[in-house]
């Protein structure tokens, strides 16, 4: 009886194993068939054949032989392929790749604007103060529709940068569309060497609140910020406002270095994910000399991008700072430069940045905890008020920025009345509602802490 029971158990076990094997084999066969179907649908050979046929037909029949060489056709196809992926991916020919390496090594002549693609149009993210673009009156959100008389429609971002940059002292004409007013204007700007400091306007707002504004994230940013924070600490700052408004970003290493000044060791700052949705790399705080954990507000606006968004998102998610202002720009993708044969290269988006709470930055931006709207004109007047001597003595007047705008039909509109212009640049009475809201909050927190 006992042997029969044991035999029955083995028989049942064998039956179960047989069923599992059969089910597993069927599932494996289905998965293999699905992979085979997918491979057949995404097979490169058919498309390679189509591509080669089109190239040969263009070479044989296109009217202009100089434009239909193999070099021209293949490079054009590669540029179109990379450009179709996103505004930041690009095929760089030998000239463009060489220029990119030279730009990362030193100074360059430009207009002083950071640009990006928004709504399929070339858009001013931020004009940097003290530069030709800022003095001429360009504003965040302006659309550049022409460069030297040529349309920017379909123009790759790097190609636009190449057209705008040039030798200092040379001039470039851009046609700008301003969405808020639905008007157009031509700007003739002289290129200049662009030197933008990382940190500016450090000061005590009152006896307790320190303030520091960051303009970009470069190689010297962390050291510059460390020196300014040390000064504020020595002056007795018991709260801090970190102003990242209109900061277009910069180096990831600088963003990590800035964020960890205010975080605890081990706090997650940012991480990247690639196409398979795996975490590629995580960046955590390892502060050598952190700033005291005083109450803190970070100011952001629609022109705060890239590294600025990494810092803002990290401080927000780690409950280290309150964010005040407007939603940031939403530039949070990783571009890798991959050298190719013949001195060319491709710049390819290979990952996206995520905040510690797994929010994707790209195309979404960072939402402030407290929204305080402010117009681009108001922000520009604030900067003018802070840099009055430099801007009023600049080569281009500020008042002219309100003249010369035209409507859709091209008829020039009259300049704004003198009284309106004076009011627009009344630098003695410019208010900063975002900074005022931040300081009011910090004063309230400090009062509460004293109880």
Q: Pick 200 or 366 by higher pLDDT.
A: 366
Lowest mean pLDDT among 5-14, 163-172, 300-309: 5-14
The CATH number linked to 311 is 3.90.226.10
User: Is there a contact between 136 and 402 (Cβ–Cβ < 8 Å)?
Assistant: no
Instruction: Say yes or no: 345 and 206 in one domain.
Output: yes
89, 129, 153, 343 from 79: Cα distances, Å:
9, 33, 15, 15
User: Is there a contact between 413 and 405 (Cβ–Cβ < 8 Å)?
Assistant: yes
Tell me what percent of the residues of the chain surpass a pLDDT of 90: 45
Of the candidates 200, 206, 176, which has an alpha carbon nearest to the alpha carbon of residue 188? 176
204 in a domain, yes or no? yes
Asked if residue 418 has pLDDT above 60, the reply is no
Choosing from 158, 193, 228, the residue where a domain stops is 193
Write out the residue range of the structural domain in which residue 179 sits.
101-193
Q: Give me the numbers of helices (H) and strands (E) for the chain, helices first please.
A: 13, 19
> What's the confidence (pLDDT) of residue 19?
59
Q: How many domains does the chain have?
A: 2
Q: Pick 225 or 342 by higher pLDDT.
A: 225
User: Is there a contact between 194 and 108 (Cβ–Cβ < 8 Å)?
Assistant: yes
Q: Using CA atoms, how far apart are residues 173 and 124, in angstroms rounded to an integer?
A: 15
Instruction: Say yes or no: 309 and 221 in one domain.
Output: yes
Choosing from 165, 193, 221, the residue where a domain stops is 193
Asked if residue 391 has pLDDT above 50, the reply is no
370 in a domain, yes or no? yes
> What's the confidence (pLDDT) of residue 16?
58
Q: Are strands 322-325 and 296-300 parallel, antiparallel or unpaired?
A: parallel
Of the candidates 196, 315, 187, 198, which has an alpha carbon nearest to the alpha carbon of residue 262? 315
Instruction: Say yes or no: 292 and 361 in one domain.
Output: yes
Instruction: Say yes or no: 208 and 338 in one domain.
Output: yes
Instruction: Say yes or no: 150 and 264 in one domain.
Output: no
User: pLDDT for 118-147, tens place per residue?
Assistant: 888 999 988 888 889 988 989 888 999 999
User: Is there a contact between 227 and 244 (Cβ–Cβ < 8 Å)?
Assistant: no
Choosing from 139, 174, 193, the residue where a domain stops is 193
206 in a domain, yes or no? yes
The CATH number linked to 138 is 2.30.42.10
Asked if residue 242 has pLDDT above 90, the reply is yes
Q: How many other β-carbons are positioned within 10 Å of the β-carbon of residue 159?
A: 17
Instruction: Say yes or no: 203 and 347 in one domain.
Output: yes
Instruction: Say yes or no: 147 and 239 in one domain.
Output: no
Q: Using CA atoms, how far apart are residues 153 and 147, in angstroms rounded to an integer?
A: 11
> What's the confidence (pLDDT) of residue 390?
47
pLDDT, mean of residues 246-258: 91
Confidence of residue 380 (pLDDT cuts 50, 70, 90): confident
Measured in degrees and rounded to the nearest 5, phi and psi for residue 117 equal -105, 120
227, 259, 290 from 231: Cα distances, Å:
6, 18, 14
Q: Annotated active-site positions, please? A: 306, 317, 331
User: pLDDT for 316-328, tens place per residue?
Assistant: 999 999 999 999 9
- Residue 347's DSSP bridge partners are 90, 337
User: pLDDT for 179-211, tens place per residue?
Assistant: 888 899 999 999 998 877 889 889 999 879 999
pLDDT, mean of residues 385-411: 54
Instruction: Say yes or no: 327 and 240 in one domain.
Output: yes
Longest distance between any two alpha carbons in the chain, whole Å? 112
Asked if residue 17 has pLDDT above 80, the reply is no
User: pLDDT for 327-362, tens place per residue?
Assistant: 999 998 888 889 998 899 998 888 899 999 999 999
Token reading at 439: 């300081």
> What's the confidence (pLDDT) of residue 39?
53
Beta strands in 317-414 (DSSP E): 322-325, 333-339, 345-354, 370-371
Asked if residue 265 has pLDDT above 50, the reply is yes
Confidence of residue 34 (pLDDT cuts 50, 70, 90): low
Asked if residue 213 has pLDDT above 90, the reply is yes
Q: Pick 329 or 29 by higher pLDDT.
A: 329
Instruction: Say yes or no: 352 and 308 in one domain.
Output: yes
Concatenating the DSSP letter of every residue in 33-61 gives HHHHHHHHHT-HHHHHHHHHHHHHHHHHH
Q: What is the mean pLDDT of the chain?
A: 83
> What's the confidence (pLDDT) of residue 388?
65
Asked if residue 170 has pLDDT above 50, the reply is yes
User: pLDDT for 283-306, tens place per residue?
Assistant: 999 998 899 999 999 999 999 999
Token reading at 151: 């349309």
Contacts of 434 (CB under 8 A, 6+ apart): 245, 299, 301, 324, 325, 372, 374
Of the candidates 308, 352, 348, 354, which has an alpha carbon nearest to the alpha carbon of residue 327? 308
- Helix/strand/coil for 110: strand
Q: Residue 437 belongs to what H/E stretch?
A: helix 433-450
Instruction: Say yes or no: 121 and 234 in one domain.
Output: no
Q: Are strands 239-243 and 296-300 parallel, antiparallel or unpaired?
A: parallel
Q: Using CA atoms, how far apart are residues 311 and 297, in angstroms rounded to an integer?
A: 12
26, 35, 37 from 40: Cα distances, Å:
21, 8, 5
User: pLDDT for 41-93, tens place per residue?
Assistant: 667 888 888 899 999 999 999 998 888 899 889 988 998 998 888 888 889 88
Instruction: Say yes or no: 168 and 254 in one domain.
Output: no
Q: Using CA atoms, how far apart are residues 311 and 214, in angstroms rounded to an integer?
A: 11
Instruction: Say yes or no: 183 and 267 in one domain.
Output: no
88 in a domain, yes or no? no
261 in a domain, yes or no? yes
Asked if residue 397 has pLDDT above 60, the reply is no
399 in a domain, yes or no? no
> Residues 354, 358, 360, 365: what is their CA dihedral angle, to the nearest 10 degrees?
-90
Record the pTM: 0.73
116 in a domain, yes or no? yes
82 in a domain, yes or no? no
């Amino acid at each position: 009886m006992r042997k029969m029971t044991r035999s029955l158990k083995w028989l049942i076990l064998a039956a179960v194993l047989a069923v599992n094997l059969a089910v597993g084999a069927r599932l494996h066969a289905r998965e293999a068939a699905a992979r085979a179907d997918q491979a057949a649908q995404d097979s490169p050979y058919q498309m390679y054949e189509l591509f080669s046929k089109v190239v040969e037909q263009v070479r044989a029949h296109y009217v202009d032989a100089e434009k239909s060489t193999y070099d021209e056709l293949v490079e054009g196809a590669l540029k179109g392929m990379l450009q179709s992926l996103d505004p930041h991916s690009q095929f760089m020919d030998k000239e463009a790749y060489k220029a990119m390496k030279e730009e990362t090594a030193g100074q360059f002549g430009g207009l002083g604007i950071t640009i990006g693609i928004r709504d399929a149009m070339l858009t001013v993210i931020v004009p940097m103060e003290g530069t030709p673009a800022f003095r001429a009156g360009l504003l965040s959100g302006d659309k550049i529709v022409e460069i030297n008389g040529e349309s920017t429609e379909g123009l790759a971002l790097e190609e636009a940068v190449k057209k705008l940059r040039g030798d200092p002292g040379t001039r470039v004409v851009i046609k700008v569309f301003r969405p808020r007013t639905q008007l157009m204007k031509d700007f003739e700007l002289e290129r200049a060497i662009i030197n933008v400091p990382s940190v500016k306007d450090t000061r005590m707002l009152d006896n307790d609140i320190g303030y520091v504004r960051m303009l970009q994230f470069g190689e010297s940013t962390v050291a510059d910020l460390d020196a300014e924070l040390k000064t504020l600490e020595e002056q007795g700052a018991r709260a801090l406002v970190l102003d990242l408004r209109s900061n277009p970003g910069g180096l990831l290493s600088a963003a990590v270095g800035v964020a960890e000044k205010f975080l605890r060791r081990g706090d997650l700052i940012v991480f990247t994910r690639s196409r398979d949705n795996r975490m590629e790399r995580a960046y955590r705080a390892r502060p050598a000399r952190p700033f005291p954990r005083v109450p803190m507000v970070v100011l952001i606006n629609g022109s705060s991008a890239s590294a600025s968004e990494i810092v803002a998102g990290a401080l927000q998610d780690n409950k280290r700072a309150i964010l005040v202002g407007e939603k940031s720009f939403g530039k949070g993708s990783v571009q890798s430069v991959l050298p190719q044969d013949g001195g060319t290269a491709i710049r390819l988006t290979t990952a996206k940045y995520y905040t510690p709470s797994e929010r994707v930055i790209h195309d979404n931006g960072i939402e402030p905890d407290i929204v305080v709207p402010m117009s681009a004109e108001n922000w520009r007047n604030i900067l003018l008020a802070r840099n009055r001597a430099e801007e009023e003595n600049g080569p281009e007047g500020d008042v002219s920025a309100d003249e010369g705008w035209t409507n859709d039909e091209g008829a020039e509109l009259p300049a704004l009345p003198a009284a309106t212009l004076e009011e627009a640049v009344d630098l003695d009475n410019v208010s900063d509602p975002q900074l005022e809201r931040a300081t009011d909050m910090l004063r309230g927190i400090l009062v509460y802490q004293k109880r």
